[in-house]
């Protein structure tokens, strides 16, 4: 039996009862209000298995039907309040966001680094977000379209006439784009070392934070230390060259911003984490949905072939990517149907009165993006893949693929750009076929097609 699994169970019986006692103590303070309806499930493990052993829609729908749009539960070792209405999501993420701080599991916080943007509010978070947005704003991102185009072309050539795991290949692709956006063209010097260390690091993101030899967490933390050393070399090289750079690292290194090397390293690792798996998941789903919907694929292909005629053998530009309305709606509908992130974690920073209920300080609050995206009140016939529904703007706070408010994803322009460039080349030059059954969805923890969507990719002139 897996050592990490045994260790997790062992620690649960010793440490979780203490956490539970502390939470119970905090929940009885000050306010004489009831907790939201719901059940906390089994001792220690709560309802984690119920949530992760099936399609999350089943779990969410059954809870909403029984308790309404707000209910309590216990998942991943945390007492939680889940909310499923657009208005409630706006209140937590925007209107009253100061009462609900972002939070992650302890292992992920230590691996990314405690000074990463995800774990902060206030002035420090505002400064980091400004620096990230400056590097990922359209004016900055559009300058690297040729480089992204080159990465796409090289990746597709490597996949030709092969059986590939779409998700794994997309992870490699998005990793290369992330390094380009962070380090510019200099990233090629350390690409393989960065990739090797990060691939070890990411395996421990959801492990128990026990730093003992032999554990997954220990291996990941060793890789994290080596990754920080590589980043220190890159920072030293930048300082020696004394050149200005328009990439994210250049934004972080500006002297008047006053970020330490540790703060820069934590945030670079955090950006890689945020830019990789989620975007790779979206790309994987798009490939699946286009294969399953030939009419949509034909419309996208016609749109992309028109762009080829317009650019007249010249390279793809930012202007071209802004003239892809059908393809953009396919991306939006994929983000809605697949709902890569089922929810996000927030934590109450004080006792909060919410819709007549008490949310105790320290409890997690989870806006349910997947439930909002799959509500027939927000999107009629929600399970149907229908990009045309985005010809009309969705109702406010019903479409939240990048979150909302001060902690919404600052890299969404880059993510959309790399997806558009990939679709352009795939639909105009290639055809693909899925291999094996595709009836199941895997959640690990992102929603993924079965087995990462195995496909074979062929040049059009080979068919």
Under DSSP, the state recorded for 356 is T
Under DSSP, the state recorded for 94 is I
> For residues 152 and 249, is the Cβ–Cβ distance under 8 A?
no
Angle at 281 between CA 385 and CA 80, to 5 degrees: 90
For tokens 């089994």, what's the residue?
A: 42
Dist. CA 203–CA 216, nearest whole Å:
7
Dist. CA 369–CA 344, nearest whole Å:
8
State CA 413 to chain mean position distance.
14
Strand 70-75 with 78-83, pairing: antiparallel
Give the torsion sign (CA, 74, 75, 77, 83). negative
Instruction: Find the length of the chain.
Output: 463
DSSP string across 227-275 = HHHHHHHHHHHHHHHT----SHHHHHH-GGG---HHHHHHHHHHHHHHH
Which of 318, 322, 331 lies closest to 401, judged by CA? 331
Q: How far is CA 214 from CA 3, 65, 218, 254, 371, in A?
A: 8, 44, 7, 40, 39
CA dihedral 397, 206, 450, 433 (to 10 degrees): 80
Strand 163-165 with 454-459, pairing: antiparallel
Return the bridge partners of 73, or none. 80
Q: Which residues contact 58 (CB under 8 A, 6 or more apart)?
A: none
Neighbours of 182 (CB within 10 A): 24
Asked whether residue 78 is marked as a ligand-binding residue, the answer is no
DSSP string across 287-346 = HHHHHH-HHHHHHHHHHHHHHHHHHTTSPP-HHHHTT-HHHHHHHHHHHHHH-SSS---E
Q: Residues marked as binding? A: 409
Q: Residues marked as binding for heme? A: 409
């Amino acid at each position: 039996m897996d050592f990490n699994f045994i260790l997790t169970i062992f620690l649960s019986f010793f440490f979780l009862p203490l956490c539970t006692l502390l939470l119970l103590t905090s929940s009885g303070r000050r306010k004489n209000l009831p907790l939201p309806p719901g059940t906390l499930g089994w001792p220690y493990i709560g309802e984690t298995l119920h949530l992760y052993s099936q399609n999350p829609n089943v779990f969410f729908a059954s809870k909403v039907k029984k308790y309404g749009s707000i209910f309590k539960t216990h998942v991943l070792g945390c007492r939680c309040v889940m909310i499923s209405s657009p208005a409630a999501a706006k209140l937590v993420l925007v209107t009253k966001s100061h009462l609900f701080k972002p939070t992650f599991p302890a292992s992920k916080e230590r691996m990314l680094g405690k000074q990463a943007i995800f774990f902060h509010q206030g002035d420090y978070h505002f400064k980091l977000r400004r620096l990230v947005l400056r590097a990922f704003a359209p004016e900055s991102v559009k300058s690297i379209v040729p480089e992204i185009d080159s990465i796409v072309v090289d990746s597709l050539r490597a996949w030709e006439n092969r059986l590939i795991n779409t998700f794994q290949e997309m992870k490699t692709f998005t990793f290369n784009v992330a390094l380009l956006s962070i380090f510019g063209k200099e990233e090629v010097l350390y690409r393989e070392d960065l990739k090797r260390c990060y691939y070890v690091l990411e395996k421990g993101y959801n492990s128990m934070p026990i730093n003992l030899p032999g554990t997954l967490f220990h291996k990941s933390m060793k890789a994290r230390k080596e990754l920080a050393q590589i980043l220190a070399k890159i920072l030293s090289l930048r300082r020696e060259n004394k050149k200005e750079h328009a990439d994210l690292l250049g934004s972080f290194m500006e002297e008047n911003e006053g970020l330490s090397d540790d703060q820069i390293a934590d945030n670079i690792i955090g950006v890689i984490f945020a830019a990789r798996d989620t975007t790779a998941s979206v790309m994987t789903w798009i490939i699946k949905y286009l294969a399953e919907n030939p009419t949509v694929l034909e419309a996208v292909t016609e749109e992309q072939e028109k762009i080829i005629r317009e650019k007249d053998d010249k390279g793809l530009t930012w202007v071209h990517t802004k003239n892809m309305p059908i393809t953009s709606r396919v991306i939006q509908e994929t983000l809605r149907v697949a709902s890569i992130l089922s929810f996000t974690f927030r934590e109450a920073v004080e006792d909060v009165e919410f819709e007549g209920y008490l949310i105790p300080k320290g409890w997690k609050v989870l806006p349910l993006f997947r439930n909002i995206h799959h509500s027939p009140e927000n999107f009629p016939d929600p399970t149907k893949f229908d990009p045309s529904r985005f010809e009309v703007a969705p109702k406010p706070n019903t479409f939240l693929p990048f979150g909302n408010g001060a902690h919404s994803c600052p890299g969404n322009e880059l993510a959309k750009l790399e997806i558009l460039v990939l679709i352009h080349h795939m639909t105009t030059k290639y055809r693909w076929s899925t291999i094996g059954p595709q009836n199941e969805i895997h959640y690990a923890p992102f929603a993924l097609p079965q087995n990462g969507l195995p496909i074979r990719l062929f040049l059009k002139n080979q068919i």
